[in-house]
Amino acid sequence: MPIARGYAATDASKPLEPFSFERREPKEDDVVIDIHYCGVCHSDIHQARNEWGNSKFPMVPGHEIAGVVTAVGSKVTKFKPGDRVGVGCFVDSCLHCATRDVDREQYLPGLVQTYNDYEADGKTLTQGGYSDSIVVKEGYVLSIPDNLPLDKAAPLLCAGITLYSPLSHWKAGPGKKVAIVGMGGLGHMGVKIGAAMGADITVLSQSLSKKEDGLKYGAKDYYATSDAETFKTLANTFDLIVCTVSAGIDWNAYLNLLKVDGTMVLVGAPEHPVPVHAFSLIPGRRSLAGSMIGSIKETQDMLDFCGKHNITADIEKIDIKDINAAYERVLKSDVRYRFVIDMATLKG
């Protein structure tokens, strides 16, 4: 079995630490990837600290993986050594399905997450991208367009698709007023992608400290949610609100910013339930919805869209030894806008 090196959480209360583990021997439909970069998603922190109550340890987090193919199985046709590729939040989806539902696979029970899940054998834990290599079935590997640098493209594999999917499902485009709540890793991708789709984007952030960046990324407006006036000024304004906030906030205040028939989509996943008043929804026939990443087909569409529009994440590259300090900074919303681990620092 090939040995991989990485960083793992061994327990919800401990910092991540160096960790070696076995990757599976590649099968005929597998692609072996040398990981160059991995983004640090807030979901990694939720899971490393067992905030969603489903964590399995030891856990090598990381599902914003970008790297280069080093070997392929005998039946692989789409990839060859040297190809620039990505892996996102899941590495299988059809364990219990007769056919693969390519449009909605992330919602079906056969999903196998890139980490914090079990491989097809039901026993071996999957391990993610804070590591030097990964072995993934061909059908779950994405092509990264040549014009996108691997480090800045890595966050597209989760942050990018998580915003692209609801923005396209709810038809963000010309004439649509869309608010993105939270200018973090997900939020800043939402501004860039939504603006490229032609929607009229407003950012709702806790303060105005990142306003200049938001406008540079294509937002038309930028408001501070710490200012109570914002909620009066923007009442009944938006067709769509995408909420990326990782903490519990008063969703009722945001629902009141929707027009009649507007939809607020949750992608941010706070630890605790949030109460919703019926009268935040009833008078405006408003909808409250959720959305989870995107299918492999949609993720490739998103990467091609980003290639065409030259969209990547704004990143701070880090040494893997600094991962625990990076987590603390994410928790303080102190990152512009995504930490990306340079895996050469693991190998060096």
Which residues lie near ligand NAP (CB under 6 A)?
41-43, 46, 158-159, 162, 182-187, 205-206, 210, 244-247, 249, 267-269, 291-293, 330, 333
| Closest to ligand NAP by CB, 26 or 194 | 194
| Closest to Zn ion by CB, 41 or 111 | 41
Instruction: Look at the block and give the residue holding tokens 């989806």.
Output: 93
| Closest to ligand NAP by CB, 68 or 108 | 108
Which residues lie across from 266 on neighbouring strands?
A: 243, 290
Could you give the count of Cα atoms lying within 13 Å of 248 in the half-sphere of its Cβ? 7
Q: Is 34 exposed, middle or buried (0-12, 13-18, 19+ CB in 10 A)?
A: middle
Task: Write down the least CB distance from residue 184 to ligand NAP, Å.
Answer: 2
Q: Interaction with Zn ion in 133-162: which residues (CB under 5 A)?
A: 158
State whether residue 24 is helix, strand or coil.
Answer: coil
d(CA 262, CA 258): 5
Task: Write down the least CB distance from residue 194 to ligand NAP, Å.
Answer: 15
Omega of the bond leading into 7 within 30 degrees of 0 (cis): no
- Binding mask 38-57 toward Zn ion (x if CB under 5 A, else -) reads ---x-x--------------
CB of 59 closer than 8 Å to CB of 162: no
Residue nearest to ligand NAP as judged by C-beta position: 184
- Picked from Zn ion, ligand NAP, none, the partner binding residue 247 (CB below 5 to 8 A depending on kind) is ligand NAP
- Picked from ligand NAP, Zn ion, none, the partner binding residue 293 (CB below 5 to 8 A depending on kind) is ligand NAP
| Closest to ligand NAP by CB, 256 or 333 | 333
- Distances in Å between the Cα of 88 and the Cα atoms of 63, 127, 230 are 5, 12, 36
State whether residue 277 is helix, strand or coil.
Answer: coil
Angle at which helices 159-169 and 185-196 cross, to 10°: 40
Q: Interaction with Zn ion in 244-303: which residues (CB under 5 A)?
A: none
| Closest to ligand NAP by CB, 155 or 262 | 155
Task: Write down the least CB distance from residue 221 to Zn ion, Å.
Answer: 27
User: Which residues contribute to the site for Zn ion (CB under 5 A)?
Assistant: 41, 43, 158
